[in-house]
Amino acid sequence: MKSLYQDLPPVEIAGRKFVGRVLFSLMVVASAIIGAATGLLLVYTTDLPQVEALEAYRPSSITELYDVHGRVIGSFALQRRVVASYDDFAPVLRDALVSIEDKDFYKHSGINFWRIVGAAYRDVESGGKVQGASTLTMQLARNLFLSPDRSFHRKVQETMLAIQIERRFTKPQIFTLYANQIFLGHGVYGFEAASEFYFSKPARNLTVAEAALLAGLPKGPGVYSPLNHPDRAMKRRNLVINAMLEDGKITAARAADARSEPLTLHLAHDPNSLAPYFVEETRRYLESKYGADQVHEGGLKVYTSLDVDLQKAANQAVLDGLAAYERRHGWKGNLENVVAEGNDLGKYQHPDWDDEPEANGYVHAIVTSSGVGLATLKFGRYSAAVGQADVAWTKDKIQDLLHTGDICYLRIVSLSSNGAARVSLEQDSGAQGALVAIDNTTGGINAMVGGRDFNESKFDRATQALRQVGSSFKPYVYTAVIDTGGNPDDTVLDEPVTFETASGPYSPHNYDGKFEGLITLRRALAQSRNIPALKLASKVGIRNVIDYAERFGITAKLPPYLPVALGSAEITLMEQTSAYSVFPNDGVRVTPRYITKVTDYEGRVLEENYPDVKDVISTRTARIMTSMLREVVLHGTGIAAAKLPFPVAGKTGTTNDFTDAWFVGFSPSMTCGVWVGFDEKKSLGAKETGAHAALPIWMSFMSAGMANKDAGQFQLPPESTGTVAQKTKVDTPDNLTGADETQ
């Protein structure tokens, strides 16, 4: 056979053989490379997650609590995220993010080859790993499915996942998934939640400057935090604006205006800080019923009975009332000093500072300097100066009151945007207050304050504290009398009396140490006379009185001893307040409730609660008792409330040694209870009665709560008949103990 090379010159034959060998070698190398690459891809992709799962993917979402008007009052979440749709993100935000993070997002198929090549070249030059070339799709793949490490292995997986995501989803879908998933600092995930956190507005309403600020955060949420590093955040924001200008997304004039804007934040208040005790009570219930995972990740919507406006009024009333109490008892000092405890003054952070302060609010601050006639203080990002006039009530000089490093308590008079504040010095000696307000018709808890400061004490004095109720227990005694045929104009003898008991004689006294002789039941209750209440309780039987209290919803175990009639029993504020709502409700008790409805993430109703009602006493008895409790306000111990421009009724309560001060009362539409005292049950001080310590708080709340509302009128009681014998039969239990309650 003739050779292919026999007619060719020897040199050309050698050249062709060499080229053939080279081509063959190249084919072998290419095959090896392709085989190795294929093998690597098989190795790196065998454990890739299924992208199909994204079709049903739902990120962890916030469970939100709403008030009666649909306003957010609290939330539970592991990640602070509000899931939004593509159209919920302002076009200017979409443009800003694409310009700075992925200019070709709407063109590429998941990866940007030239960016990868460029980034790889730079990293080889610097000796680093492949990085800085991720598209939005690749970032989404990493955030959803992969670890944050920057290894070659992870980069390959990220690239393959990005290609799969692009094949299955549209660009708007990919953008939406990314925009809801990305971390943007301070526990916030997603641009909708970030917009609400940093600017207190939805993402659809962002300006160019605001959108650019948020778009700059994914690169480094901590590094470019506008809270912690405003200078860096400003530079990064302007870089984003320039990128938008280069891409033709905004005009030069618009870019210049945006760059000239100051870094202005409108941080959202933590919704949980408005009614923390109410929110905590709701959380416990939800977790017990639905489980912690569902509550913190399931995106539930919880509709509650709380009213934001009433809650704000309640918060202010309690804090103002406690401040007034503190001033009545003078400066006590004994301030904590962080310097003396060996802490760094500049690094100190108080829990109060986690919440954005408001004018007329109260906050703990640290004294940064103190001298003759002037002290400077700091709380959060605000600073203030206190002069001698601001501490005049203490009757001491500033340099003797405050020292560098002291933690003091302030009332905020005003706040300015430059971080300056006007304040007045107050005192926190440990006195506590609690308030509960209930809608008479629905039983809905409209407002609840469980203490002075949730950050310092999570103990809920509205629902968890059992305290002696003093004379606010007496209405149960009079209810038992009226319900068994008594009449408010019947008489009883107010005179010295001794009850013989198995443990010895019991000789009670009235608060003022005086006796009025023959008086009507109406006056005896209005003036909170102790002797008549004990005689009446003895007459109808203390066990019968306790039975009535239990019918009203009191679940605390009440011992069958006569002093219980004067309020030696320990009851929670919530139960006492709910019980009083029976009177304006014509004898019907509506079980108090926090939640009206709960829906899941898809909007399906999980539970819906309606008023739970129960007959307690007759309409006749309820209306007579309402008129008698109205007399307490018009002519009795609660007379200070007579000046309110709407009808109210109620009862004061004070315990021995002034350890507990109460006022529980109602209008035709709402019942409210207030308690003031110390946790350790020590005296509030001489003459700190329910009328003096608790009633002003109650009046302040009711005035604000009933403003611009139709308060309605109480129903008139029917004509009454019958009498109550003046001579009483003494109830003599085996043991007779308890306090001699006063008012």
Q: Which residues are within 8 A (CB) of 342 and not within 5 positions of it... i.e. 6 or more apart?
A: none
The answer to whether residues 571 and 646 belong to one domain is yes
CA–CA separation, 661 and 674 (whole Å): 8
CA–CA separation, 130 and 697 (whole Å): 65
Range of the domain at 13: 1-46
| CATH number of the domain encompassing residue 375 | 2.40.50.140
Classify strands 588-590 and 613-615 as parallel, antiparallel or unpaired.
antiparallel
Q: In terms of residues, how long is the chain?
A: 743
How much is the mean pLDDT over the chain?
A: 86
**pLDDT computed for residue 724 by the predictor:** 38
The answer to whether residues 451 and 552 belong to one domain is yes
The answer to whether residues 344 and 235 belong to one domain is no
Where is pLDDT greater, at 119 or 664?
664
Check if 471 is active-site. Answer: yes
pLDDT band at 19 (very low <50, low <70, confident <90, very high): low
Structural domain total, the chain: 4
CA–CA separation, 563 and 543 (whole Å): 12
The answer to whether residues 580 and 650 belong to one domain is yes
> 537 is written with which tokens?
């309780």
**pLDDT computed for residue 37 by the predictor:** 47
CA–CA separation, 278 and 68 (whole Å): 14
> 199 is written with which tokens?
């600017």
The answer to whether residues 562 and 448 belong to one domain is yes
Catalytic residue of the set 75, 99, 101, 297 = 101
**pLDDT computed for residue 4 by the predictor:** 53
The answer to whether residues 526 and 650 belong to one domain is yes
In the three-class reduction of DSSP (H, G, I as helix; E, B as strand; rest coil), residue 666 is classed as strand
Classify strands 420-426 and 382-387 as parallel, antiparallel or unpaired.
parallel
Catalytic residue of the set 99, 195, 370, 471 = 471
Range from 262-271, 414-423, 486-495 carrying the lowest mean pLDDT? 262-271
The answer to whether residues 143 and 260 belong to one domain is yes
Last residue of a domain, one of 428, 449, 480: 428
| CATH number of the domain encompassing residue 567 | 3.40.710.10
Amino acid 102 reads D
> How many CA atoms lie within 13 Å of 295's alpha carbon, on the beta-carbon side?
17
The answer to whether residues 398 and 439 belong to one domain is no
The answer to whether residues 476 and 572 belong to one domain is yes
pLDDT band at 136 (very low <50, low <70, confident <90, very high): confident
Q: Which long-range contacts (CB under 8 A, 24 or more apart) does 46-54 make?
A: 48/145, 48/157, 48/160, 48/161, 48/164, 49/145, 49/161, 51/161, 51/164, 51/165, 51/168, 52/168, 54/144, 54/165, 54/168, 54/169, 54/177
**pLDDT computed for residue 346 by the predictor:** 83
The answer to whether residues 97 and 42 belong to one domain is no
CA–CA separation, 573 and 464 (whole Å): 9
Check if 158 is active-site. Answer: no
The answer to whether residues 211 and 248 belong to one domain is yes
What is the separation, in whole angstroms, between the first and last Cα of the chain? 131
What digits encode the pLDDT tens for the residues 588-606? 999 999 999 999 988 999 9
Span 55-75, average pLDDT? 84
CA–CA separation, 730 and 501 (whole Å): 9
Last residue of a domain, one of 237, 268, 299: 268
Spell 201-223 as b/e; 16+ CB within 10 A means b. Answer: eebbebbbbbbbbbbbbbeebee
**pLDDT computed for residue 152 by the predictor:** 55
**pLDDT computed for residue 484 by the predictor:** 94
The answer to whether residues 522 and 633 belong to one domain is yes
